[in-house]
Amino acid sequence: MDTNTFIKGLWKDNPVFVQVLGMCPTLAVTNSATNAMAMGLATAFVLIMSSTLVSLLRNFIPKQVRIATFILIIATFVTVAEYLIQAISIDIHKALGAFIALIVVNCVILGRAEAFASKNSVGKSILDAAGMGVGFTFALLCLGAVREILGSGTFFEYQVFGHGYEPWVLMILPGGGFFTLGAWLLLFNYMKERKAAKMQEISA
Amino acid sequence: MNQPELEQMTAAPNSWHMIRALAGIGLMCALLIVSTYELTFDIIKQNKAEVLERAIFKVLPGAESKAIFIVKDGQVEKLIGDGNGETRYYAGFDANDDLVGVALEAGGQGFQDVIHILLGFNPEKQIIIGMQVLESKETPGLGDKIEKDPAFQKNFEALDVALSDDGSSLKNEIVFKKNGTKSNPWELDGITGATISSKAIAAILQASASQNMPVLYKNREKFKQQ
Amino acid sequence: MNVLNKPLEIRTSPHLKSSVSTNQIMFNVVIALLPVTIFAIYSFGLAALLMLSVTTIAAVLTEHIYCRLNNKESTVGDWSAAITGLLLGLTLPPALPLWMAVLGSIVSIMLVKVLFGGLGYNVFNPALAGRAILQAAFPVAITTWHPAFLADRFTHIPSSSLAWPFTTATYDAVAGATPLGNMKFNHVAAEVSDMVLGMTSGSIGETSAVLILLGGAYLVARNMMNWKIPVTIFLTVAVFSGIVHFFNPTTPTPLFMLFSGGMMLGAVFMATDMVSSPITDRGIIVYSMIIGIMVVVIRLWGGLPEGMMYAILMGNAVSPLLNRALKSRVYGTGRKGGAK
């Protein structure tokens, strides 16, 4: 089995930091680590389930109607996820609001269905979807952690600083999402460039 | 799938294959959704009831059990079954089965979007004894203080909503006051930095109390039947 | 420097070169800001002195360190970073915790100026954008006003100024709302004469209209500021709020609008920023009218008492568009743009 199929979603092809896909939930629901985690896991669930089904049915689906079928499958699992989240916690469902339904239009999911699951075996597709899902959750958690720690002084609702901490309200507002994403992208690109420069040094 | 069949599929679009795929997958998806819905229906209903109950017991301090009432043809009566659409009055009772108060939902325009709140009335003493925000999109850090600010919540320990002598309207309008300038029991002490949100709450309170308080007071005995 | 390394000249001929350098303009802006600064220190005491020095030093240091880290020649010599810091300080409430002011300076220089390419490339006025970010981050602290003319203002530093970094400040003296806040939330109008002279509370440098206008007049006299911007803004505000006041007398009078809040400081020193305002005359008129209308709209119908900051930032945002839409006629071509 190819572990690279799984690992690439985490780092090299990270859906948020490298592919810059799925920006809507990335910016909108990462105002706390809990919300980011819930959104990431819900997306990962839909991603894995739909990739599995698409891969299973890949010989059954004619090329001409594949997008319609993929969307149908994705929408089904989004609806399932919405019911499950409501059953787990009404509060999380309220916090994520309309963004659960919007998982349908998250390009990461349709992208993986079209680019990977429809061409690869079930096992490989599950690995790929899991990698992407975990990578997406990790990225959302990166944003959610920074925004919650600075914006509310807490991490997973656990007080990080003393009571005198002055929260940076901006960070939990939409603007803070853009700033945080920008900062993370800066860090990722900086590391990538430095690595590339090192590789060049070695080869030269 | 044998070789000629595969060739046929990739060569020319076969409408039978397309219909088969769409209908088959559609059916499968429908089944999946319906079964999840059936499986989770009771849990979700219970969760929602719990959230509401928690809020009701918060706005009616000391309450331990509740009963739901509705107004039908101008008469207050106990809700039997699920009911639909009517304004609900949630009566809360303490450990000795004495009426603590009646809770009801109210809403109005806030700074960002509609604020939904739950109000606890004590019809006997004609005061508001609790307020919980059910849903709001007020600015984090400022407007959302209406949910948490302890000084603001203090307003709702006993906010005066006494009726005028003929029992048809409020004697004093609930008015908003700047933080720290509250001098009468029917005034609402605002939050610094959240003036608009606290004003909105005052407006919701005024609208809800002037509409519901006469009904609550007139029927205060009826709510006592558990 | 090699000719090829020069930034591309975007104007059409004739290319006349002014003998006035950036440094000279910037230095004169500092001189123009001096009366305001001195009055601010006189009325708010040590709090203002500390605030202004801290924001200025932090802005200069940020730019210097950035240049050092990138192995570039330090650009702090052109005074622009110092002006950004000073202007930022002038727009802040006097008793704002100093650590927030430092953060504001860093954001102004790093995020708004050098990340866009440094002086001449920034889309927004750095000082104002920095203040906007501070306002979004610390909405309560930045609307907590400190009383002016306290008896012990030259001996006592407000405890809130010295709050430890990242902690909430405790305020020892809190002034009532600013004239605009009073107008919006309590419907009480302040005396215009008080606002003209600077007897009210507010941000450090916005209180005295007379001295701000004096500084502006100095710059105009030295031909280092485009007088059309503040004049158009004032006219637009006066006319627009006059019309509204005529139909609804409960709204503030045009005079109150002109002399309250950051109107003067913003129109004279912020909106005239050469980098973030349009370059053509027609563009400048439209830009100034947008600012004038926006500020009245925000003040009268918005949720905030003051709108000058957002109005100017919006003006900044549209100025590249205005530059594109309202190009000046290329010399030697017909009115329709084609060659004669």
pLDDT tens for the 204 residues of chain A, in order: 567 888 888 888 888 888 888 888 888 888 889 889 999 999 999 999 999 999 999 988 888 889 999 999 999 999 999 999 989 888 888 878 778 888 888 889 999 999 999 999 999 999 999 999 999 999 999 999 999 999 888 888 888 887 778 888 888 888 899 999 999 999 988 888 998 999 888 887
pLDDT tens-digit profile of B138-173? 776 667 778 878 888 888 888 888 888 777 778 888
Chains touching chain B through at least 3 C-beta pairs below 8 angstroms are A, C
Contact C113, C123 (CB under 8 A): no
Residue C340: pLDDT over 70: no
Q: How many whole angstroms separate alpha carbon A93 and alpha carbon C330? A: 59
pLDDT recorded at residue B2: 53
User: What residues contact residue A35 under an 8 Å CB cut-off, 6+ apart?
Assistant: A29, A92, A95, A96, A144
pLDDT recorded at residue A94: 81
- Whether residue B48 and residue A90 make contact (CB cut-off 8 A), yes or no, is yes
pLDDT recorded at residue C1: 40
Q: How many whole angstroms separate alpha carbon C237 and alpha carbon C296? A: 6
Q: Residue C323's closest CA among C282, C289, C269, C270?
A: C282
The residues pairing with B92 across neighbouring beta strands, listed in sequence order, are B66, B101
Nearest CB to C137; choose among A161, A165, A170? A170
Q: How many whole angstroms separate alpha carbon C31 and alpha carbon A88? A: 65
Residue B60: pLDDT over 80: yes
**Interhelix angle for C126-137 vs C98-107, to 10°?**
130
CA distances for B191 relative to B112, B142, C319, angstroms: 17, 9, 38
pLDDT recorded at residue C3: 47
Q: Residue A5's closest CA among A118, A109, A128?
A: A128
The residues pairing with C74 across neighbouring beta strands, listed in sequence order, are none
Calculate the CA dihedral of residues A57, A59, A60, A61 and round it to 10 degrees. Answer: 90
Place of tokens 């002109």: C258
- pTM of this structure: 0.78
pLDDT recorded at residue A151: 87
pLDDT recorded at residue C125: 92
Q: How close B193 comes to chain C (CA, Å)?
A: 6
* Greater pLDDT, C324 or C198: C324
Contact C26, C201 (CB under 8 A): no
Q: Is B141 on the interface with C (CB under 8 A)?
A: yes
Place of tokens 């009432």: B69
pLDDT tens-digit profile of B170-199? 888 888 877 767 778 888 887 776 778 888
Q: Residue A70's closest CA among A1, A15, A125?
A: A125
CA angle A42, A48, A53 (to 5 degrees): 125
Q: Is A60 on the interface with B (CB under 8 A)?
A: yes
Residue C200: pLDDT over 80: no
Residue B72: pLDDT over 80: no
What's the rounded mean pLDDT across residues B5-21? 69
What's the rounded mean pLDDT across residues C138-150? 81
Residue C26: pLDDT over 60: yes
Q: Residue B104's closest CA among B131, B84, B83, B85?
A: B131
Is the dihedral angle over the CA atoms C289, C292, C298, C304 positive or is it negative? Answer: positive
pLDDT tens-digit profile of C229-258? 999 999 999 999 999 999 988 888 888 888
Q: How confident is the model at residue C12 (pLDDT cuts 50, 70, 90)?
A: low
pLDDT recorded at residue B16: 87
* Greater pLDDT, C75 or C134: C134
Instruction: Tell me the residues of chain B between 185 and 214 that have a Cβ less than 8 Å away from chain C.
Output: 192-193, 195-196
Beta-strand pair B88-93/A154-155: unpaired
**Interhelix angle for A66-88 vs A33-56, to 10°?**
140
Beta-strand pair A154-155/B127-135: unpaired
pLDDT tens-digit profile of C291-319? 999 999 998 887 677 889 999 999 999 99
- Whether residue A73 and residue B18 make contact (CB cut-off 8 A), yes or no, is no
Would you kindly state where each structural domain of chain B is located, as residue ranges?
60-224
CA distances for C90 relative to C107, C154, C176, angstroms: 16, 18, 19
Nearest CB to B141; choose among C139, C185, C186? C139
- Whether residue A166 and residue C133 make contact (CB cut-off 8 A), yes or no, is no
State residue C149 phi and psi, 5-degree precision.
Answer: 60, 40
| Averaged confidence pLDDT in chain B | 81
CA B176 to chain centre: 22
Q: How close C165 comes to chain A (CA, Å)?
A: 9
Residue to mutate among A152, A163, A166, A169, with most C CBs inside 10 A, is: A166
